[in-house]
Amino acid sequence: CQSCAQNLITITTNGNGAHAMESDVTNIATCATRTFTCIGTLANIEGGQGTIMDADDGAVDGVATFTVTCNTAGTAWVNTGIDITQVECASKCLTCPSNLISITTASTGGHAMDGDVIDETTGPCLKRTFTCEGKGANIEINGDHGVITDESDVASFTLTCNEDGTAWMYNGVAITQVECAPLPACKMCEQNLIMKTTNGNGAKPFAMDTTDTSGTCAVRTLTCVGNQANIEEWINRSFFQLNNGDGTTDPPLVVTCNAGGTAWLFMGIPITQAECAV
C-alpha cells in the first residue's frame, strides 16, 4: 500500500473552467496518501466521489482539497472505499463565455478590436483584455455609458470573469457591449494649428490657453490679461483686433475645432495666428 502508481489517476482539464491542480503531493506513512489541491474562486475538484467544493472544509478560501489512500494491494487510490481513477480541478470564474459581450462597430469610424485576449494564467479568474488602436482611440462600453481612452492612441480595457462565470465585470459592473472607435475629428485639432506670436508692440504670452473636449467638438479658449489687453487674430493674411479689453476685463479668444479636425474656427473663419498685447 505504499507503491500505488501516479498514473492510476488521470488528471483531466476537460470541463468549463478546468485548469491544472495547484499541487499533487504524495506522503508515505503506513500506506501512501495523495492530496490534490485546487485553487481558484469557488474552486472544486471533481472525482469518483462527486464534487469536492471549496467550502467543504468549513472555509470559503478559494482552496479545495481531496485526499486518496493507496489500497492494500497497491493497485488503486481509494477514497471512502471507492477507487478514484480521474480527478479534475475547476473554478467557476474561469467559465465566462466570450459571447457574453457584443463587440459592435456602429459609430462613425468604429472598427474591429485590434486585440481581444483571454488570459487564464494571471490570477485565479479569467481576464479578458480588449485593445483599440488609432488616432484618438477609445473603447465605448455598454452603449456609450462609459469611454476608455488613452493619449498614446492605444486604448486597452481589462475585464474579469465573475464568480458564477456568468458575466465579465469592470469595477463591479457587468459589461455586455464594447466598441472600438476613434474620437471625432472635431475633438482632435492640434494646438499648433494656431501660432501664438509676440512680435508687436506690447505683445506678451497668453495668460491661459485651455481646451475643452467635453462637448460635441473641442473648444479652445485663449485669454489675454493686462491693462487694455487685446488679442489680434491673423485672418486672410491680415491682423484683425477682434477681442478688445476694456481695462477691467480680459478678452478671451474662443475657437472651435472644425469637422475635419484641421482648423480652429472663430465665427466660421480659420484662425492660424494670434497675439496677445497690452
Report in angstroms the alpha-carbon separations of 275 from 128, 190, 265. Answer: 50, 18, 16
Instruction: Give yes or no for residue 167 having a pLDDT over 80.
Output: yes
**Which amino acid type is present at position 143?**
G
**Which amino acid type is present at position 150?**
D
Q: Which three cell numbers stand for residue 222?
A: 485663449
Q: How large is the average pLDDT for residues 196-218?
A: 88
Q: Choose the most confident range, by mean pLDDT, from 48-52, 61-65, 133-137, 170-174.
A: 170-174
Structural Rg of the chain based on CA atoms:
32
β-strand pairing of 177-182 with 102-104? parallel
pLDDT digits (tens, 9 = 90+) for 224-274: 887 777 777 666 544 455 545 554 456 688 999 999 899 999 989 899 988
pLDDT digits (tens, 9 = 90+) for 83-95: 999 999 987 777 7
Of 67 and 56, which is predicted with more confidence?
A: 67
Instruction: Give yes or no for residue 170 having a pLDDT over 80.
Output: yes
Of 40 and 96, which is predicted with more confidence?
A: 96
Q: How large is the average pLDDT for residues 72-90?
A: 94
* Mean pLDDT for all residues in the chain: 86
- The ranges assigned to domains in the chain are 6-94, 98-183, 191-277
Q: Partners of 140 in the beta sheet? A: 147, 179
Q: How large is the average pLDDT for residues 138-166?
A: 83
Q: Which run of H or of E encompasses 192?
A: none
Instruction: Give yes or no for residue 182 having a pLDDT over 50.
Output: yes
Sign of the alpha-carbon torsion through 122, 101, 150, 134? positive
pLDDT digits (tens, 9 = 90+) for 97-145: 999 999 999 877 788 999 999 997 777 688 999 999 887 788 999 986 6
Report in angstroms the alpha-carbon separations of 138 from 90, 104, 109, 181. Answer: 35, 13, 11, 6
Instruction: Give yes or no for residue 50 having a pLDDT over 60.
Output: yes
Report in angstroms the alpha-carbon separations of 88 from 43, 48, 52, 77, 95. Answer: 11, 10, 10, 15, 14
Instruction: Give yes or no for residue 59 having a pLDDT over 90.
Output: no
- pLDDT for 250 equals 62
Q: Which three cell numbers stand for residue 82?
A: 471507492
Neighbours of 199 (CB within 10 A): 10
- Sorted by sequence, the CB contacts under 8 Å of residue 142 that are 6+ apart come out as 173, 175, 176, 177
- pLDDT for 234 equals 66
- pLDDT for 238 equals 47
